[in-house]
Each structure stands twice: as C-alpha cells, then as structure tokens.
Structure 1
C-alpha cells in the first residue's frame, strides 16, 4: 500500500511538473508572439528566396525595427524617473516597547477601563506584532504628554533622521533638491511639515513643496505618484518624498473598541525617498519607476466611512475602524488590480482572464469560476502595506501568494508594527537586506488607506542590490529573520 501511494505521489509530481512547463511554454509563446512571428517570417524568406534575400532582408529589418521602436517609444513615460536611494528610520533602543511594557503603560493610565484593557491585550496578541516595536517618547510616559511640542519633536526626529541618512547615502546636497513632497495623514501643523524641512535644510527659494494630509496609509504611493508627475515636467532635478505619521498627536484616550485598535497596531516610523529625472543618475540609481496606479472608492458610503476620524461618546478624538474594513479593502484591491493587470501582466494572462470573463457571461457566474491572474508572472517581489495580520492574510489568499512572497510584509509588521505609509519602505529594505533584489526584478508596492483607497507602485531594479554594502534598519539583525509568528 505504501509503495502504491509513493508511486501515485511520484506520478502526480511528474504530472504537475509537466503542467508547469506547459504553462511556461504557453506564456512564453503568447507573450513573445510578435517577435517570434517576425523571426519566422525572415526565416521563411531565407528558405524560399535565398538569392534575393539580401535586399528583402534589409527592407524587412528596417520596417520591423521602425515598428518596434515606435511601439517602445509610445509605451515609455515622457521622462524616466529613478529611485536613487531611500532610508527608513530606526528609533533608538530607549523607544523600544514590548507587548508587556505596552500593557503596563496602558494599565497605569487612568482613562482605560478593565474591559478596554482586556480588549487591548486580546488585539495585541493577535496583531502579528513582535516584542521590539517602537513607541513615541510622549506616549511612553505616564501621564501621556499629548502636546504640540512633543508631537513636533516626534515627527521632526523621524523625518530628519531619515532625510539625513538618504542624503548621506547619495551625496546629494540639500540645495540640489527641487521638489519636496511630505505626507502625514493626521498631524499637520502650521507651518507645514514640508516647510519645516525647507527651513531645517535651508532649501532654495524656488523649491516646489507639497504637503499631503488626511490620505491615510496609502499616501506614500500617492506622494510617489505626485513626485513622478512633477519630475516629468520639471527639468533635471531631485524630488524628496517623506512619509511618516505621528503617535503623540493621535493617541486615543477613550474606551470605544473600534478606536482602540489603532493604539495596538500603530508604531513610530518614517521613510525618505530620493527620486531623480536626470539621465546621468541612471547608472547609480537602484530602481526605475515603471507604473503608478491609484484607485479611489470613496463614492461609496461604506468605503468612505470604514476608516473615520471622529469623536466618541466622551468627545475623545480617535480613528474608528469599521467591521466592513476587510470587505472594503477587498473590493478596492479588486478594482485596482483590474486596472493594473493590462498594464503589467503578460499577454498570456490577459487572454486567460478575458476568456474566463466571456465564459462567465455566456454560461453564468455559478458555472464558471472567476480567473485570478497570476501576478507572480509579472512581479518577482511584493510589498503589501503592513496594516495588520488580518489584512495580510486576506491579500495572501486573494492574490494566491506564497509565504516567501508575504515574508517582507509579515516581518515588517512583526518587527516595526504598522508605521502607516512608510511600511512599504521597511519591506523594500527587508528585501535588500536579504539580498533578494536582482537586476531587472520587478517590485509591486500595494498601499491601502482611508477614503477608501488602494494604490499601486511598480519598480524595476536597475542593478542587483548587494546587502553587504547596504545601510538600513534590518542589517544588524537580518539573520534573525524570518521568524515564526504564532497565531493566538
């Protein structure tokens, strides 16, 4: 019986391998049909008219090259945008907060009831966060010092720390920066955070600045998209994109369960990204920006209200997370990948998707199951916003990703918590620290945020990233990861 079972398993394995290579062959043939047809045409001409081939060859080659060059130029962006380098901020050890310390601090505060403390502990244990995330100085004190001074100190420490690092990595001088885009969803003082950067680094008077507010955890990709559009109309210059959020100003002091969840998930973090449109920077840049795509479902009331800043029954301000959040996120993701698919998927996957769509309309949705495109054919790496464990579980299932592909997101959530819009850059840094980025690899960043929005950003690696030369928040401990995160 055991021998028969082994034989059966071996046959199944052989069949699955054969099927895998059949699929790969299909994808290759369909995706390269244009090039293969040109080669086949020339080959046929050589066989049928060998004496006149020289003239015909030159004529056809000229037409073919011109045709392909036209298609290529039409698909290229108006001006290439390069990611020269980026930095993710890592707070000091004195800001490290374990689950035990977090609950201890919450217990010493006067405004949480015993029921709320029990709920906080339950959410924290199931959150996917580890024991070495970072809190703000004001929140880690009893009582919490929720003042404008403390809030500014937190944000400036994060922003300046990340910017100093990225300027040090690239050697770019502050005076060379022509564009500054800052996003912070809930903390927006006056003067703005963008103005704070201009003042601190003494940027030139002609610098173009934007300060994005209230756009949630997906604002990091929105900032990249805005910087891209600005770089495509401004001559040789650099764009500095800074993504952060503030705990001090947004610590919830009430007992509404829908608002308490954010206290458990969000932690201190931020990132600075230096972009360039200079062709001379291509040789030293890490990535080229391939595509950005933004999807907004705010016209639907349920989507609009699923992440909402408001006052509770006791007039305490907090961010309420609706029970519909997962459904809304799934619908937003579906809309986003439906629009993104034709831009990034190989033709073979697009044909399968179209065929399934036609069959579902002809035979009915109950008979034919929807076809989920295989995005693993379009991307080598995935960076999904580390919003929470349940969000990552849902996306892993929806996109049919492997544990290895979810690893950057899960480890970022475990090590740094939800750092809002900057989480995608901790994930990118994780991939680099692991030495997984090879030349021409494509990275898909997916961000979710209030509104409700789902945004995508696609990068192509211009060179292999050598982890031994990298400086990022993972380098001193990367060998400890990945770790098993128990489900409680």
Structure 2
C-alpha cells in the first residue's frame, strides 16, 4: 500500500513578542500577595522565553495590553470582535507559512487541503481564503478540523495520511493555524491566568504526498484517559473562547503513560515497542509540566524531549501548530533513518499518537 510522507514544513509567527507584556499586564489582576508570588515563580519555571501575537504590545499597560485596545481593564472586547480579527489576520500568517514551504509554481498542483484551528471560525473559512489568496485550484478538496485543541495537529496529519493512501497522486496541503492570544480573559483566577501564560500565535504549513522524502508517516493511534473529560475544556464564551486547564493534567498523563509502558502490548499506544526503539520523541510542547509528565511517565532520558522544550522556549504553546514546529526542527537537524514517536494531548483527555521515520 502507498505510504504518506511529510515532504516539507513551513512555519511562521507574528512579529510581536508579547511574553513580557503579558506578564506585566496580568500582574495587576492579582490582588493577593501569595497569588502574585506564585505567578512570578511559575513564570520563572515555565520554560518559555518568547510568545508571539498579531496584537501589538501597548506602551502603557495600565491602559491596555495592546495598542489596538482589545484588552483594556474593564473593557475587554467580545467574541465577535475577536473573530473579526481572526478573519482579517489569520490569512496573512497562513500565507507566510505556506510561502516558507518554497513550493514555487508546484503549489498549484495541490489537490487537497486540510486546515486545523480551534481559535477562530468564519464562513467562508480560512480554507477558502487560502485558496483564493494563493490562486489554488478552486476544485481542490477541502477539509476543516475544528475545535479539537492541541491534538488537532495529529488529526490533520491523519486525514492527509488517509487521503494519500487512498489516492497516491494526491498532494495535500496541511495548515495548522492558531491565534491563541485573541482569547485572553480578564480574571483574577490564578489557574486561568497560568493557562494563558502558555499560549502564543503561530502557523505551520506542510505538504503531504506519496513522494518518499521527508518524514514517513507509519501509523496512528488514539487513547482516551478515563474520567478526565473535564480536565481540559475549551468553550465559546461572550468574551472570547474560555480555556479550563486543570492542574491535574500532568499527573494524569504521567500515570496513563506509566500504565501504557507497563502494559506494552500490541493494542497499546507503544504498539508493543519499547522506548529504546525510538530515536526521536516529537511531543506537543503543551507546557513544561506536560513535557515533564511525558518524560516521567515513559522514563525517558533527560534530553529526549529537547526538541519540544526548544519550541516551548522559543514560541510557547501554539496549540495545534506546535507539534509541527517540533517536526520541522527534527527534519532540519536530526539524522536520516531515525525512528520517531509523535504525541499530542487534547480535550477528552486524549492522547493522539503516531510513529514515523526520517527519510532524509
């Protein structure tokens, strides 16, 4: 049967580094001294140095977090205004990431497009905006993967994988685009603020085809951790999308992976293999504690997740785009013939996994 390969990956982030702006801005919402101290300690331990946004940082944080005035204390904009911003700015970031693929005139030979996002929705959607902006074939087949959270990176690849296996001549453009910073919430709830500390904007574009070059996608498998459905939620509210990320998530992931490693049969996510069978671990950089949980749960070497920790440091958590940034670094720097294991977590609580090999 025909195999599917990620031939190329292009990435893009907005020009505005907002990490320090966020830290200074939300500090004013924490009235309790103990909350301020804990927040500042978690900032130091986050493993994040940069996060980017389409919004421009304000020069006066007492007035607003951004120059556009989206986030003025007591006057945060509503969901409609945030979606208008997504509709007008997401396409520019998508175009930049697709241009980074450097496909030239061959871009017009794309036959399918898969777009994943959980941070913005419009109709006509981003898929049609991309098709029109880049003059793609108007008859190409389009699929939207929506509101599946960080794990959508794997779901989008899975769709492309199945398309190529059923249609060997297919050339699938996969776009993962998230404008996470549009959904900042005005709150003194420390858990919500710490969740927002993780997220930044970013886009990854990839070409998936049967051409045996890049990353060979081997297989996909999903596992749901029982009794965890309320630990990660993402709901549409009147003032943007509301994230709930429980502090229990890392320990639940660590326990589930320990059980999987102990179980280690053909039906498990490791497919009966051992950690020593994999040279590369492409794990979604959801946060330092998430990566620590994976390292602990699978008893990995300290440097096994260096690719993921590097992306977290440089960009934060860009939801579904993040894992593709990790894979991009592996394609550029890891040795050929390396066997890898990919993993991302999302609401459910689910673990979406796949195996892959670098072909060079």
Paired residues of 2:235 and 2:241 also in contact (CA < 8 A):
yes
Partner of 1:414: 313
Tell me how far apart the structure 2 counterparts of residues 98 and 319 of structure 1 sit (CA, whole Å).
18
Alignment of 1:6-17 (within 5 A): none
| Aligned twin of 1:329 | 253
Q: Whose radius of gyration is greater, 1 or 2? A: 1
TM-score, reference length from structure 1? 0.63
CA contact (8 A) 2:173 2:205 kept: yes
CA contact (8 A) 1:311 1:318 kept: yes
Greater strand proportion: 2
**Alpha-carbon RMSD:** 3.0
- 1:164 matched to 2:72? The reply is no
- Report deviation, 1:155: 2.0
What whole-Å deviation, never above 9, does each CA across 1:393-442 have from its counterpart, x for those lacking one? Answer: 11111112112212111111111111112222222233344x3x222111
Match of 2:173 among 228, 236, 240: 240
Matched residue, 1:287 = 215
Aligned to 1:458: 355
Listed as ranges, the matches of 1:54-133 within 5 Å are 78-92=1-15, 95-99=16-20, 101-106=21-26, 112-115=29-32, 120-130=39-49, 132-133=50-51
Shift of the 317–344 alpha-carbon distance from structure 1 to 2, 3 Å rule, reads: closer
Note the alpha carbon deviations across 1:436-455, whole angstroms, 9 max, x for none. Answer: x2221112211111122101
Does residue 1:307 correspond to 2:232, yes or no?
yes
Q: Is the 8 A contact 1:124 1:265 kept in 2?
A: no
Pick the structure with more helix per residue.
1
Equivalent position of 1:14 in the other structure: none
Q: How big is the shift at 1:256?
A: 2.6
Retained in 1: the 8 A contact 2:182–2:240?
Answer: no
1:178 aligns with 111
Partner of 1:431: 330
Quick one: distance in 1 between partners of 2:107 and 2:156?
A: 19
Per-residue Cα deviation, 1:230-270 (whole angstroms, up to 9, x for no partner)? 22222412001111212243221222333222210001112
The structure 2 residue matched to 1:270, chosen from 191, 198, 203, is 203
Residue 119 of structure 1 deviates from its aligned partner by: 5.2
Q: How does 1:136-147 map to 2 (within 5 A)?
A: 136-137=54-55, 140-142=65-67, 143-144=69-70, 146=77, 147=81
| Counterpart position of 2:61 | none
Q: CA deviation at 1:125?
A: 2.3
Residue 339 of structure 1, CA deviation: 9.1
| Stretch deviating more after TM superposition (260-269 or 317-326) | 317-326
In the alignment, is residue 385 of structure 1 matched against residue 272 of structure 2?
no
Determine helix, strand or coil for the equivalent of 1:173: helix
**SS, match of residue 212 in structure 1:** strand
Rounded Cα–Cα distance in structure 1 between residues aligned with 2:248 and 2:239: 24
1:176/1:237 contact within 8 Å kept: no
> What does 1:255-266 correspond to in 2, within 5 Å?
255-266=188-199
Q: Distance in 2 between matches of 1:306 and 1:391?
A: 13
Higher relative contact order (CA 8 A, sep 6+): 2
Instruction: Tell me the distance in 2 between the aligned counterparts of 1:185 and 1:96.
Output: 21
Other structure's SS at 1:394 match: helix
Conserved 8 A contact 1:86-1:274: yes
Q: CA deviation at 1:315?
A: 7.7
> For the structure 1 residues 449 and 118, does the alpha-carbon distance in structure 2 shift closer, same or farther, using more than 3 Å as the test?
same
Which one of 139, 143, 148 corresponds to residue 206 of structure 1? 139
Cα distance 1:180–1:296, how it changes in 2: closer, same or farther (>3 A)? farther
- Match of 1:79, SS state, is coil
Q: CA deviation at 1:327?
A: 3.6
User: Structure 2 CA distance, aligned partners of 1:151 and 1:221?
Assistant: 23
Structure 1, unpaired ranges of 5+: 1-77, 351-372, 464-488
